[in-house]
Amino acid sequence: MNDSTQALERLATSDYKYGFVTDIEQETVPPGLNEDVIRLISAKKEEPEWLLEWRLEAFRYWLTQPEPNWVRVHYPPIDFQAISYYAAPKQKGDGPKSLDEIDPELRRTYEKLGIPLAEQAMLAGVAVDAVFDSVSVATSYKGKLAEKGIIFCSFSEAVREHPELVKKYLGTVVPYRDNFYATLNSAVFSDGSFVYIPPGVRCPMELSTYFRINASNTGQFERTLIIADEGAYVSYLEGCTAPMRDENQLHAAVVELVALDNASIKYSTVQNWYPGDAQGRGGIYNFVTKRGLCKGRDSKISWTQVETGSAITWKYPSCILRGENSVGEFYSVAMTRDYQQADTGTKMIHIGKNTRSTIVSKGISSGHGQNAYRGLVKILPTAENARNHSQCDSLLMGDQCGAHTFPYIEVQNPTAQVEHEASTSKISEDQLFYCKQRGISAEDAVSLIVNGFCKEVFKELPMEFAVEAQKLIELKLEGSVG
């Protein structure tokens, strides 16, 4: 084995810098799941009766469902009775009325994560909803957004303040019977973000949610609902971190997007949950259902994800292209190292005429990492002139990792045009030597080549996020000095 290969083999040594624990008094529901726990969560959130009923229906249905086993990941059975389904920082009195009243310990946590909650200190033009374990602790720029009629708040607040909108759209894209983890989420979801952009409004800033798991033995089950009314536009960002713990923690979120006529939603994720240690102990199980409905004509939903964290990632941000001329996009970078496993991809369901979709998936595996792309392109009989272009590229580093591609294509209309391209490559010795001959160190060369490989996806991210994502990839590649 030569120097460069050894350098690649040593990829596993960089530290997870978000692994700290916040010492804060928590209110946690004892582990276990039954109807009483669900009633308790609902009561804590002062939810209306219809929502409690919806949760309970989901729970009863969940009890009848087996855990899915088709996915190409391996993990010991999850004991759903050993998980606590609700954890929240204890609040004094009624909870914070404004950003100034947030517990200083929480404020410090977000500062350490590089997410200052004070508006003046924030990235210009980004409004943040901070979700800590099961509750949203702060949402910034609410006032400014409200002037345009934009609603950006925690899900719990939306249930209280805008029940008609929540009731109208909740479960319309991901019904509670959708899949095992979505059903579980529907029963026990705690908090998340809610966004509504009124007709004709272009949201003037990036909206972002920062998810943080802190408590041990808890699951995070957030639910996000974004509605772009006719002619509206919004760009939404999502970031996530968690402390280092030896046990695995479950994160089963649901995200629903609805785009009406001429509306456009851009949803970007940089997922950096704790991936577990170099031996594969601990880490987050990231079992997430994300789906967007292009309900109106000429609507567009674009998913961009950079998945670098989690012990296991299982998610398929999808688009249902119902409106005529609607457009769905999926841009993904998934990186696995050590013993991380990722099974990710998308579904593009073409229903309307002239619907178009684009899939660009980049998988990077190193160490013992396993990376699978799983995607479905389905053209229904109604989808005249539908088009899809898919491109799945895998990059392997070292000889212990794996890349797998499972593309499913179902075409039921003869006018459809569907293209699929796939490639698997290694960082070649030739590329490394070429960089080194120009003076670039092996580590920088690997980083340069990997970032080049991801470029098509990174360019879809909003500027600050693209820089963040690039840094994150570099961090993940650290330790590859040759």
Partner 1 sequence: MLEIRNLHATVEGREILNGIDLTIRPGEVHAIMGPNGSGKSTLANVIAGRDGYVVTEGEIRFDGKNLLEMAPETRACEGLFLAFQYPVEIPGVANLYFLKAAVNAVRKYRNEPPVDAMDFWELIHERMELVQMADSMLKRSVNEGFSGGEKKRNEVFQMTVLQPRFAVLDETDSGLDIDALKVVADGVNALRGPERGFLVITHYQRLLDYIVPDYVHVLVNGRIVRSGDKSLALELEEQGYALYNEEPGRARRVAA
Residues found near partner 1 in the complex (CB under 8 A):
2-4, 428-431, 433-442, 444, 448-449, 451-456, 482
In the bound complex, what is the minimum distance in angstroms from residue 432's beta carbon to partner 1? 9
Region class of 439: left (phi > 0), else alpha (psi between -120 and 50), else beta: left
Residue closer to partner 1 (CB basis): 383 or 472: 472
Choose between 228 and 446: whose C-beta lies nearer to partner 1: 446
Closest CB 328 distance from partner 1, rounded Å = 24
Residue 51 vs 481, nearer CB to partner 1: 481
Strands 387-396 and 356-365, by their bridges, are parallel
Q: Which is nearer to partner 1, 4 or 341 (CB)?
A: 4
Q: Count the Cβ atoms, other than its own, within 10 Å of residue 168.
A: 11
What DSSP state is assigned to residue 10?
A: G
Alpha-carbon Rg of the chain, whole angstroms? 22
Tokens representing residue 210 in the block: 């920062």
CB of 334 to partner 1, least distance (A): 16
CA atoms within 13 A on the CB side of 228: 32
Helix axes 463-477, 442-458, angle to 10 degrees: 150
Three-state secondary structure of 368-408: CCEEEEEEEEEECCCCCCCEEEEEEEEEECCCCCEEEEEEE
The least CB distance from residue 20 to partner 1, in Å, is 32
Q: Report the residue number, 7 or 250, with the smaller CB distance to partner 1.
A: 7
Strand ranges, E, within 213-307:
223-228, 233-241, 248-251, 254-259, 264-271, 283-294, 300-307
Taking the complex as a whole, the smallest distance from the CB of residue 470 to partner 1 amounts, in Å, to: 12
Report, in Å, the least distance between residue 306 CB and partner 1: 15
Between 358 and 451, CB nearer to partner 1 = 451
Q: Give the nearer residue to partner 1 in terms of CB position, either 416 or 432.
A: 432
Whole-Å CA distances, 7 to 11, 397, 436, 444:
7, 10, 13, 11
Report in angstroms how near the CB of residue 361 gets to partner 1 at its nearest. 15
Is residue 181 classed as helix, strand or coil in its secondary structure? helix
What amino acid is encoded at 6 in this protein? Q
Nearer to partner 1, 66 or 439 (CB): 439
First vs last C-alpha separation in the chain? 12
Other beta carbons less than 10 A from residue 76's beta carbon = 6
**Shortest gap between Cβ of 389 and partner 1 (angstroms)?**
18
For residue 425, the minimal CB distance to partner 1 (Å) is 9
CB of 443 to partner 1, least distance (A): 10
Measured from the CB atom, the residue of 122 and 440 that comes closer to partner 1 is 440
Of the pair 408, 433, the CB lying nearest partner 1 is at 433
Tokens of 90: 């204890």
Interacting residues of 256 by C-beta distance below 8 A, sequence separation 6+: 169, 170, 171, 172, 173, 174, 223, 224, 225, 226, 291, 292, 293
